Structure 1
């Protein structure tokens, strides 16, 4: 291998032409290299742009898919809301129909009550005036309740007045072929008060208000209240009568004779009797359709006309 010595400064170069050729070749290669780099950069930019475009399209596709899914979800929610709203509307329509039916029923009931009120008004002028005042005045609830209680009390009083000649016989054993006229005459004989058939307007059994195994009560309607009071007075003096004394076969039953009370007065009599028993009252009786209680022979008589009067029994006990 031949070693070249370095050129001397400011000396001529024997290989100058050769160096120029080399430089010329080098220059030619250097001119071509930028074009290749630009093309390479352009290709890289195209590839990057294509990649970016693909990524952009892929992102757009994903976003479109998400938007489509959101639209589907919203559409499904809207359909569910629409279905729920439709169901609520159908329920409201059903409730409205049911309410209309109730209103119609209430209207019919009110019409029936109005007819009953008109009938009572025609029969009793005083009650008609009270009803007119109630319908014409705008009263409070308490005032209306007080008026209703007053009307109820008056109606019950009228009903009780219609029974003022009646006697109610309870605990009298029933027989298939019984003769109630003979039985009432026999009762009169046993208590020492003659009862003439001509003084009996009607006699029949009535069913109990509630289901019970007790025999049906017997209602005797007499021609006068005086006759009724005479029979009840003789019965109280006799202090009871039994079915055996009347010649009725079977087990012995105590027969009770009382004034024919309305259902309201019977309930009030039962409540008063229970309260009097708890307070150790000695007497609980009915006289002229009024319930009377008495603690002892020397105690004052307490009339019981309403449930509020029951408090008088407790107050009398405390005193």
Structure 2
């Protein structure tokens, strides 16, 4: 550490540097103000005394003492106190820097450990995704193979036969549940009507005495459909009236009377609508109803005289005295009547 060229003490704080000899001085030793900037061309008294002068008094090296705080007066009793202060300050700074470095090193270790865990998690995720991708590829390959096998090889005929038989069994079971039911078509429908009372009146119309206790249920089924337009607006087609009777023999009696009185109308039933013929038939499942319609269309096309239903089965006879054929599926329609209409 540099010493003052005037007092010989170690320098502390701001110093004055000579432009000539590069010596350093305390401000008080060369009579400079305590504050303010020092000119770059400033020279110490030793350098200035060698310059040509005009017989002015030389400035002494030690100037007049100035009032300085006690902390700025160098200690004349212990010349090494400034060195000890600098050493202690340096040690304190060193300890602080070392503590900061240790904390920084610990943080780096923690970050490094977290990064290792993060890399391990990323590796696990990549491995899982790779396994999932392989599984998806295997599943796609299996699906392609199954689709190719299904398209190349037709379904076993025995399987088709089993499926058809199961469907037929289900349909027969559903038809058996309707063994006591009849349906009345083209009967005018009015708001607030009593279906049970209508069924009793129709029975009387057909010559069958029915009591309300003979009827399990009676209701309109199906959706309302529009069939014509008149001045008053669209005319809805009456829905079917489904009637369930308590006994099968009673149902057979109603159907037999309806066949004997074919062409019976709604006159005398107390309905506000104009009189029109109604029809009483067996109630069929949706599959049997569709089969009966196709058989009737095929019979009309090929000139067959009789196509009817009995106990849920569709039957056909070409002309009186011929054999009656039972139609159980659409294949029977093609087999009995010939190819269907296109």
- TM-score relative to the length of structure 2: 0.49
* Counterpart residue number, 1:163: 178
Gaps of 5+ in 1: 1-92, 104-138
Measured after TM superposition, the shift of residue 140 of structure 1 is 5.0
Which of 195, 200, 212 is residue 185 of structure 1 equivalent to?
200
Distance 1:254 1:242 in 2: 4
- 2:316 alignment counterpart: 293
1:174 match: 189
Structure 2 residue aligned with 1:280: 303
The answer to whether the aligner puts 1:240 opposite 2:282 as a matched pair is no
Residue in 2 aligned with 1:6?
none
Q: Structure 1 stretches (4+) deviating beyond 3 angstroms?
A: 208-213
- Structure 2: which 5+ residue stretches go unaligned? 1-132, 144-153, 228-235
For residues 218 and 271 of structure 1, do their structure 2 counterparts lie closer, same or farther at Cα, with a shift above 3 Å needed? same
Question: CA RMSD of the aligned region, Å?
Answer: 2.7
Report the structure number with the largest CA radius of gyration: 2
Cα gap change, 1:302 to 1:144, in 2 (>3 Å): same
Partner of 1:310: 333
Q: Aligned-pair distance for 1:166?
A: 0.6
Change (3 A) 1:313 1:173: same
Report deviation, 1:268. 0.1
Aligned counterpart, 2:211: 196
Specify the SS of the correspondent of 2:162: helix
State the shift of 1:283 in Å: 1.7
SS in 2 for 1:242: coil
Q: Residue in 1 aligned with 2:167?
A: 152
- In structure 2, which of residues 270, 286, 293 is the aligned counterpart of residue 270 of structure 1? 293
Cα deviations across residues 89-124 of structure 1 (Å, max 9, x unaligned)? Answer: xxxx9xx8xx99xx9xxxxxxxxxxxxxxxxxxxxx
Q: Secondary structure at the match of 2:278?
A: strand
Answer whether contact 1:208 1:217 (CA < 8 A) is retained: no
Cα distance in structure 1, aligned partners of 2:244 and 2:277: 21
Partners of 1:305 and 1:172 in 2: CA distance: 29
> Equivalent residue for 1:261?
284
Q: Which moved more, 1:207-216 or 1:143-152?
A: 207-216
SS at structure 1 position matched to 2:213: helix
Residue 180 of structure 1 and its aligned partner are, at CA, apart by 1.4
Give the whole-Å Cα distance in 2 for the aligned partners of 1:302 and 1:245: 39
1:245-303 alpha-carbon deviations (Å, 9 max, x no partner): 43323333321111110000000000000011111222221111111112222222121
